[in-house]
Amino acid sequence: MDKVTKEGSPAFVPPAERIATFDNDGTLWCEQPLPVQLYFTLDRVKALAPQHPEWKTKEPFASLLKGDLKTALAGGDRALLEIVMATHTGMTTVEFEQIVKDWIATAKHPKTGKLYTEMVYQPMLELLAYLRANGFKNYIVSGGGIEFMRPWTEKVYGIPPEQVVGSSIKTKFEMRDGKPVLVRLPQLNFNDDKGGKPVGINQHIGRRPIAAFGNSAGDEQMLEYTQGGSGARFMLLVLHDDAAREYAYGPPKIAERQAGGVHAGGLRQSAERGLDRGQHEGRLEAGLPVRAKPGHGH
């Protein structure tokens, strides 16, 4: 930290350029046994089912409503996209924000019974605060929905809406009942994952981060892009190895994804360069433990 913040240091970075980017699922909050937005989506299917009698016999909704998640998601990305579009679109952005706020205020994690916003990692909250105290601007750069995160990230992480980058659907400006609104359309706008993360960073921030934090193959390109700049750089992958207090799934799951061919090159290259094991098992200069453990939002 001293290298980039002490005036006169050869690697000094002006405050305006101290950009840190964070993945969300599995980096700032728990993504096990399933990503939180998937629970939100399933609850939306249940809430909307009375308006969609056809879902009783139409897959993937029929299986979902019977609680058979495995069959419902057997259709892969296409089935998931169909469920997301059916539950996340048609309303205005303001209406969707309220739906998310209402849900996140009460929905509980299936294993711990805690609010999802309490399933955040205490060391990462401390890291966010530490960076902020040193003049950094923290951004979320997540594969999750941008409008699913914005309603609560400021309260939970101290990250305001304009510092949230995520996946999005298209919206359309129109007058509804004489009021100007943005309507959420059932079309993907941007997939903020893997190679999309550097693209989203450039689009929203227009600066290359000097620090980046992730936990999975989806964060690989963001870390590589961060490392590719000049001067001092810091990249970290969170390791999940504490089955007692959270879930243990870090490297094995990444290895599994690699074996599946999703990211054959990326993580292997990173491991060779020391991005991987070396840093995610290490400690930040500030002395924060980087092993994940669930904490409490503030």
Residues that bind a second copy in the complex, under the rule CB under 8 A = 16, 93, 137, 146-147, 150, 154, 160-162, 164, 168, 170-175, 179-182, 189, 195-199, 202-207, 221, 224-225, 227-228
How far apart are the C-alpha atoms of 209 and 9, rounded to whole Å?
A: 19
Quote the least distance from Cβ 96 to a second copy, whole Å.
Answer: 11
Would you say 106 or 173 has its CB closer to a second copy?
A: 173
| Closest CB 173 distance from a second copy, rounded Å | 4
Please, what is the minimum distance in Å from the beta carbon of residue 217 to a second copy?
A: 14
| Shorter beta-carbon distance to a second copy: residue 32 or 226 | 226
Which CB sits closer to a second copy, 9 or 202?
A: 202
Name the residue nearer to a second copy (CB basis): 75 or 195: 195
**CA pair distance 95, 92, nearest whole angstrom:** 5
First-to-last C-alpha distance (Å) of the chain: 24
Measured torsion, CA atoms of residues 138, 126, 40, 222, in degrees rounded to the nearest 10: 40
C-beta separation of 41 from 84 below 8 A: yes
Nearer to a second copy, 200 or 250 (CB): 200
- The closest of 75, 85, 91, 78 to 41, measured between CA atoms, is 85
- The 10 Å Cβ neighbour count of residue 7 is 6
Residue 157 tokens, joined: 């992480």
Say whether 183 sits in a helix, a strand or coil.
Answer: strand
Residue 138 main-chain phi, psi, to 5 deg? -90, 130
Minimum distance from residue 208 beta carbon to a second copy (Å):
9
* Least spacing, CB of residue 246 vs a second copy, in Å: 30
Q: Is the dihedral of CA 157, 163, 169, 172 positive or negative?
A: positive
The span from the CA of 277 to the CA of 290, in Å, is: 12
Q: Which is nearer to a second copy, 41 or 270 (CB)?
A: 270
Task: Decide whether 16 or 243 has the Cβ nearer to a second copy.
Answer: 16
In the bound complex, what is the minimum distance in angstroms from residue 7's beta carbon to a second copy?
A: 20
Q: Measured between alpha carbons, how far is 168 from 289 in angstroms, rounded to an integer?
A: 33
d(CA 56, CA 53): 6
Question: Which residues, including other chains, have CB under 8 Å from residue 88's CB and lie 6 or more apart?
Answer: 41, 44, 96, 145, 148, 169, 184
Q: How far is the CB of 156 from a second copy (least distance, A)?
A: 15
Nearer Cβ to a second copy (42/223)? 223
Q: How far is the CB of 170 from a second copy (least distance, A)?
A: 8
